[in-house]
Structure 1
């Protein structure tokens, strides 16, 4: 057999062998592993919208370091500004901090989403007594987690106030210092500052004239406006920087929040100022307020928001806010970690008798807020 015939036969045999060989099945690619049930698959981003000077200095950085979630932290000056953002929609925020006075309307208006408490293991640290105070705002405890609480009151730089009053004694009711012309006429020389918001100024004014602090009656609002008009010439500032205004000496008397007044006191001490700043306890009571963590309905990162809320409810994290800013939280488990000098300060943690006199937070209807805004604008303009 010559070589040519040999190669023809060999090739034929190989071809027949190949045709008769069974092809091995290819191994199928393993399917991608599905995320574990309940796993957070959101991008590591969180947008927070809070009040100024209202977070412990290391909280955001520590949260980012532990979770890998980058926080975009911005601030607003009053409840009206936050509410406008939520009503407009597409705010871009995942966590907001509305006051109780606005929160009920935001819940009823569908602007906030229910909290998945299964993703907030530390929810049990909340004080049931404080949570009960939110019942008129969030009856089912489905939308809000308290961030901090305090009360609206009068703050003073005692040294300057005593000098300005001269022979006039301090009033029994601290509200007189900002609402009674007998006192405001004397105190205008060292500066009177009001919070710059209708829902912060009108409720204590209503309370002062014996009306329901959260009245929805326009006639009551008008009466409060008439009272305020008498002291308008004596008011120096409508302040969104109350802490600095008190600590820096721009005002000796303030209609403000006890927590901010106490921060101003600490800041003055740090700056070695001789300002003797005090939060007073009016004989007829201050107005309790509660600021609350909530998740907007259109939040893009609700799971990250729940992680943030749960992180804040750790005892040591909540206590850090109280220790640094003199604002109590609703975290009962944090009390053991609050500094003794702060825990014993009656202007931070009022005693039972003082608390009993204070007005609990409530809310206004949309129509009432418009009425309040009109009265406040006229007052501020001096009309």
Structure 2
């Protein structure tokens, strides 16, 4: 973690290399989260390489994993979260080793951040970090304070304590539909191992989730939460950091009479790294390598962070951002926030099955 703290302060200064087009450009098929790219980057990539981009989106990691596990997805680039999705796909042999000779711009990547991912992908052979962020609290302070002036806005107690949640339920509270992100946070909040597959630990997590379920307005997909927060339909959510910041920007642009803020939980936020990877059966791996190399240019990554409000793993890009983004602690967490953060890891398969059953019961409310 000390290495991670140092990495966040580094600024690389090497000049970027332009994307190299493969001999037969064709079409690049990308499968990524919604609202997770700079459209201008896609247009520039096509201009520079002649490669047309077909861009599809998913709304949960489970959807991504299901598509790749079935095989013959038709995609050349996918963006799984390092743990557990990237790790599970790696173990299943669903990802193609990268030809790093075709990705010279990988030299811009933060070595300490890449070392974190190398713990599960030896030698970083199958993926590079695209963007990263934390799981925490999305809040509309004005609406929450109107119901509960002393609400602990920066504590998981706000949404995971049923008595507290009941006090603010009228203004709308949601938890994102992502077991791989929510369960580790709940377990950590309960003082248990976020990686735990122990029956007693999971039973305690299930009790807590079922206790808050009656007070939740919904369990929507992460992209849906962006719209709900921006429109003022909800006042609190357990959500991704960048999604919350996007929602706040949309609310300001629309002239909404409220603010949307992201607060990392004082108890510690879950860190996640989203990876650029190539499926094992990708139809156009040459174009995929060209795309990864293109994206890792500092000015391209700066444009993506500017658009989606998530930090990236190319330190030299930070100097290219406007000061209000570069110095925003909700985008680039300060050292003390990182020090309290945790990586969830990938549970054993038996634990994953138990967690899937737990999550289904939570969504059903029984």
- What's the TM-score once normalised by structure 2's chain length? 0.91
Partner deviation per Cα, 1:185-230 (whole Å, 9 max, x = no partner): 0111000011112112211111110111122334322211111111
The aligned residue for residue 206 of structure 2 is 225
CA shift, 1:173, in A, is: 5.1
Q: CA separation in 2, counterparts of 1:307 and 1:366? A: 35
The aligned residue for residue 20 of structure 1 is none
The aligned residue for residue 158 of structure 1 is 141
Whether contact under 8 Å (1:49, 1:75) holds in the other structure is yes
Question: Aligned match of 1:331 in 293, 298, 314?
Answer: 314
RMSD: 1.5
Partner deviation per Cα, 1:115-172 (whole Å, 9 max, x = no partner): 0000001000000121122133213211111110000001100100101214xx1227
- What's the TM-score once normalised by structure 1's chain length? 0.87
Aligned residue runs from structure 1 range 132-151, under 5 A: 132-151=115-134
Whether contact under 8 Å (2:179, 2:356) holds in the other structure is yes
Aligned residue runs from structure 1 range 34-49, under 5 A: 40-49=22-31
Aligned residue runs from structure 1 range 49-128, under 5 A: 49-101=31-83, 102-128=85-111
Q: CA separation in 1, counterparts of 2:270 and 2:212? A: 21
Whether contact under 8 Å (1:103, 1:137) holds in the other structure is no
Q: CA separation in 2, counterparts of 1:174 and 1:136? A: 30
**Greater C-alpha Rg:** 1
Q: CA separation in 2, counterparts of 1:138 and 1:174? A: 33
Question: Aligned match of 2:228 in 245, 248, 251?
Answer: 245
Residues 366/205 of structure 1: CA separation in 2 closer, same or farther (3 Å cut):
same
Q: CA separation in 1, counterparts of 2:348 and 2:74? A: 26
1:204 correspondence with 2:202: no
Q: CA separation in 2, counterparts of 1:171 and 1:280? A: 11
Of 279-288 and 45-54, deviating more is 279-288
Q: CA separation in 1, counterparts of 2:200 and 2:281? A: 37
CA shift, 1:294, in A, is: 0.2
Q: CA separation in 1, counterparts of 2:28 and 2:162? A: 48
Of 260-269 and 336-345, deviating more is 336-345
Unaligned runs of 5+ in 1: 1-37
Q: Secondary structure at the match of 1:46?
A: strand
Q: CA separation in 1, counterparts of 2:283 and 2:308? A: 30
Question: Aligned match of 1:318 in 275, 287, 301?
Answer: 301
Whether contact under 8 Å (2:22, 2:290) holds in the other structure is no
The aligned residue for residue 33 of structure 1 is none
Whether contact under 8 Å (2:21, 2:49) holds in the other structure is no
The aligned residue for residue 16 of structure 2 is none
Q: Looking at both structures, which has the greater relative contact order when contacts are Cα pairs under 8 Å and sequence separation is at least 6?
A: 2
Whether contact under 8 Å (2:21, 2:51) holds in the other structure is no
Count of residues in Structure 1 that have an aligned counterpart in Structure 2: 344
Q: Secondary structure at the match of 1:71?
A: strand
1:263 correspondence with 2:246: yes
Unaligned runs of 5+ in 2: 1-19
The aligned residue for residue 273 of structure 1 is 256
Q: Secondary structure at the match of 2:171?
A: coil
CA shift, 1:361, in A, is: 4.3
